[in-house]
Structure 1
Amino acid sequence: MSECDVPVGASSEPVRPRRVLRADVRTARRRLSGRVRKTPVFHTSVEGPDGPVPVSLKMEFLQHGGTFKVRGALNALLGADGDADHIVVASAGNGGIAVALAAAQLGKACTVVVPESAPHTKVAAMWAHGAEVLWHGTNYAEAERRAVTLAAERKAGHLHAYDMPALVAGAGIIGLELEEQVRGRPPVLAAVGGGELIAGLGAALGKRRRIVGIEAEHTPVLSAALAAGGPVEVDAPAPAGELLCPTRIGDIAYDIAQRHRMPALPVADEAITAAREYLWREFRVVVELEGAAALAAVQSGAYKPEPGVRPIVVLCGANTELPML
């Protein structure tokens, strides 16, 4: 049975996910050769609470589909044991966009089940890549349950939006690129979300570089999991606007974060919004709110690098409403 057919993390019962290793990431990189962009790194300084802070910006928002998630989606579909010609996924945003794009590239049909709160911009992007979009439930968990049922009804393949080994391994390619692009072993700051990105970086880099997870303060999914000893649902208020994050960290991400003692830093929504506006004002760079979360940690002082250290900041997504800037 393919890992595409088995939803990981859909149950609240404790699970022991298959570990994602650096070898898995290297395999994913070979598999995706010529299919994804090696996104550039921009060395600069940004405003911090006490003056300019040197940083290296990983421009992952330039990836196909405007999201790092396309790496994992392509890796999952290309590495699947089966050959399903129809893929179903539940997603509030970039996961659905990535799977829709990957499915279109491989000639497969795609259905995305989205919660009622899904941002219109991201739904429109799913449509643009040819996906069928169905609304169900008020949150990701409800949409995911419907996606599992729908996949069975249609005899289609099923992908989880962020908690599958192939997705994590695909995201980890970013870590391999950073080893080639940035000298030394500076820390890497990345948005937590459901955990796919930080897990991939952890799998790729291990203890070679410190990975710091940055999460919106209203959805501290990694902090809550580390405190509870396992993934737990976070009772988060529905945010106004597009900053819609998963309310439970993925099992794979928790396993990697716990083994590597990965810290989690909360950042206020206002700081994330300010960081996004700063990127546009200073660099004419457009990112979505979650894409600016890691930079917000530096600019707000939630993360303060040691003297002489230039942290890497991953700008991970660009799917946003332009009029909001």
Structure 2
Amino acid sequence: MSSIFKPGSNTQLSIVDGDSTNTERAEYVDAYFRDIFTKLPRNTQRAYISDFNDFAIFCQSERIDSFSDDFSHNEYAIKRYVEELCKSPLAYRTIKRRLSALSKFLGIAKLPNPIIQSVYLRDFVRLSLIENCKFQLSHNQAVPLTIDLLDEINNKIIPDTLLEMRDLTIMNLMFDALLRADELVRVCAEHISRRNNALLVVTSKSDQSGKGSHRFISTSTINMVDEYIAEANFDAKTQSERLIDDPRRLNKGILFRRVSNRGHALLPYNEQPNTHQHSPLYESSILDYSSVYRIWKRVAARAGIKENITPHSGRVGGAVSLAENGATLPELQLAGGWQSPEMPGHYTQQANVKRGGMAKLSEKFKR
């Protein structure tokens, strides 16, 4: 039995050369990579490559042939992989994401997919995760950035540089619109509707159709955005507004860009459409997840916040704050762009703890 899966590079899956069937499978994967994969968000691409290669390395180390046309073999390989994952410190969601990536690959290569088709494997995965306590929440998960905590940060930090103004605006926008980091970095200046207090989120993890969704943003956050843009377009050296063709000026396109080392000017960026696909200037100017993560840590440190807040804290905190103030499940789903009520329901349950019977009893007796 020959395998068609082996560790690849950082940019594309590699297919093991073999018989004509494997060549055909390789063509399926190459076509997907060429026509679809390269258009996915960069963070999604990296996640897929990482997950694919992790499985390939596992097969290599265990001397197991990887995916093939044999349904039983694919079932066995994934079962062994799940057993290994359950021994690791990986969280439940990480394991589920890795299996989802493998299922995606099987579909792309048009191979037998036991993750979907095998009742035995589905039950084995579910029971293995339960048995190994993978459903438990991580003790190190991000602390929700609730509206009270956000107000504390806004009151403590008075931005005096473009960098600080950008960072604070990012945090407020991510809270209002319940944005993920990968959604934030694609926000463009023209996506903000000041008339409707709305932000157009062009694509998101939960938006499989690619239609986008609209999220509410507060007037105070819109004012922050306007102040950030005005500061970006002011040249401190000449004490005047930057010229319209200045590459450091912000007219349209990506809203949150990298800032120079001194924190007073945006890095040059080409705002012309269809010119940035492979432009080094574009790549060096835009933010990625690690940039957004550092922004959150920098703001927290300056505000003296000891809790572990991360880019996901805004989305979680926004949902918890809404739930604590009586938002319904449909309202939560609309606010965060969730297709399913499962996650908003979790935040509602978390918020209801403070309104439960024991909470009322403690308040009554001043405990």
Higher normalized strand content (fraction of residues): 1
Which of 1 and 2 has higher RCO (CA within 8 Å, sep 6+)? Answer: 1
| TM-score of the aligned structures, taking structure 1 as reference length | 0.24
